[in-house]
């Protein structure tokens, strides 16, 4: 457009907009005098679109399954506390939470809050799990069998 040279070329010319750039790092070889101002306009536009989308969801009662799961206070763990402790320690041991940086105590606290359950002494429960003579990973083995059964059932349905 006619103003491109004013907005996008590096020069000492300034537009009559008051903009304090003293706290920004500006590379004169790369930046123009109004990069930051343009970034504010773009960010404002993106934020506006995001809020419009949220407002649309609220006014149209659009369901969001992830939000429903997180916000629903009626979640509950229907397995045993020992099963949950086994799962917690498996997740912790595998390093799949926060790149292996998640503390076991934080995972326990989260699980208690998320599933509305009081686990009790998880460390003692884990010691009991380790002391099992056979089936040390009983719950995880049950999960694996259930998943394999589902996969086999799904494959049988799709083949027929």
pLDDT band at 104 (very low <50, low <70, confident <90, very high): very high
Average the pLDDT over each of 6-15, 63-72, 76-85, 148-157 and give the range with the smallest value: 6-15
Domain layout of the chain by residue ranges? 71-149
**Given CA atoms 89, 93, 97, 100 in this order, what sign does their dihedral have?**
positive
Q: What is the pLDDT of residues 17-74, one digit of tens each?
A: 555 555 556 666 666 666 777 787 888 989 988 888 877 777 776 566 666 666 666 7
> Residue 96: pLDDT above 80?
yes
Q: What is the mean pLDDT of residues 118-134?
A: 96
Q: Which residues of 5-37 are buried (b: 16+ CB within 10 A; e: fewer)?
A: eeeeeeeeeeeeeeeeeeeeeeeeeeebbbbee
Residues 6+ apart with CB under 8 A from 73: 116
Contact 37, 6 (CB under 8 A): no
Residue 37, pLDDT score:
73
Residue 64, pLDDT score:
65
pTM summary value: 0.57
> Residue 129: pLDDT above 60?
yes
Q: How far is 151 from 137, CA to CA, in rounded Å?
A: 21
Q: What is the mean pLDDT of residues 102-108?
A: 95
Q: Which residues of 110-130 are buried (b: 16+ CB within 10 A; e: fewer)?
A: ebbeebebebeebeebbeebe
Average pLDDT, whole number, for the chain? Answer: 82
Average the pLDDT over each of 14-18, 73-77, 126-130 and give the range with the smallest value: 14-18
């Amino acid at each position: 457009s006619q103003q491109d040279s004013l907005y996008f070329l590096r020069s000492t010319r300034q537009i009559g907009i008051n903009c304090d750039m003293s706290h920004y790092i500006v590379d004169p070889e790369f930046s123009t005098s109004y990069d930051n101002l343009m970034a504010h306009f773009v960010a404002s536009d993106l934020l506006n679109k995001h809020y419009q989308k949220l407002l649309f969801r609220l006014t149209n009662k659009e369901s969001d399954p992830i939000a429903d799961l997180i916000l629903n206070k009626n979640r509950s763990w229907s397995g045993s506390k020992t099963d949950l402790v086994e799962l917690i320690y498996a997740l912790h041991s595998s390093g799949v939470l926060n790149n292996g940086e998640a503390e076991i105590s934080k995972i326990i606290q989260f699980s208690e809050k998320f599933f509305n359950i009081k686990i009790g002494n998880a460390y003692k429960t884990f010691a009991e799990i380790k002391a099992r003579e056979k089936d040390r990973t009983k719950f995880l083995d049950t999960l694996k069998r259930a998943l394999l059964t589902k996969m086999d059932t799904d494959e049988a349905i799709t083949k027929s």
